[in-house]
Amino acid sequence: QVQLQESGPGLVKISETLALTCTVSGASVSGYYWSWIRQSPGKGLQWIGSTNYGGNTNYNPSLKGRVTISVDTSKNQFSLRMNSMTAADTAVYFCARGATPFSWGQGTLVTVSS
């Protein structure tokens, strides 16, 4: 059974870059698509983007080119980078297996503040 665990800073300064990692166990990252989703406090879910080992990526255009998702097979991880962070990016960030998420991590809260 695949398990996913997000890690990264809980606090990011305005205008800086967020870097999150998702560690995968129970499956090889080279075998599937992987995605990131976020949930602002008290709000609904927003799909951020997805990728696979072959570099087939898709991003949410609403994030205006601020996002990069990549896979690291040597560590069996995938990562999210989002630049030019603002307070509106404060959210719980989830990693998941599949471009359409099947299994989800527990999520990590990222707060953006000056």
Partner 1 sequence: DIVLTQTPLSLSVSPGQPASISCKSSQSLLHSDGKTFLYWYLQRPAQSPQLLIYEVSSRFSGVPDRFSGSGSGTDFTLKISRVEAEDVGVYYCLQGAEFPRTFGQGTKVEIK
Q: Which is nearer to partner 1, 58 or 70 (CB)?
A: 58
* Among 65, 32, 61, CA closest to 47: 61
Distances (CA, A) of 26 to 31, 93, 104: 11, 21, 13
Q: Does 105 bind partner 1 (CB under 8 A)?
A: yes
Write the secondary structure of 78-99 as one string of H (helix), E (strand) and C (coil): EEEEECCCCHHHCEEEEEEECC
Q: Which is nearer to partner 1, 38 or 79 (CB)?
A: 38
Q: Minimum CB separation from partner 1 for residue 35, in Å? A: 8
Q: Minimum CB separation from partner 1 for residue 114, in Å? A: 28
Fill in the per-residue mask, 21 to 60: x = in contact with partner 1 (CB under 8 A), - = not in contact: --------------x--------xxxx-xx-------xxx
Task: Specify whether the CB–CB gap between 86 and 14 falls below 8 A.
Answer: yes
Distance of CA 12 to the CA centre of its chain: 15
Q: Does 78 bind partner 1 (CB under 8 A)?
A: no
Q: Does 110 bind partner 1 (CB under 8 A)?
A: no
Q: Does 71 bind partner 1 (CB under 8 A)?
A: no
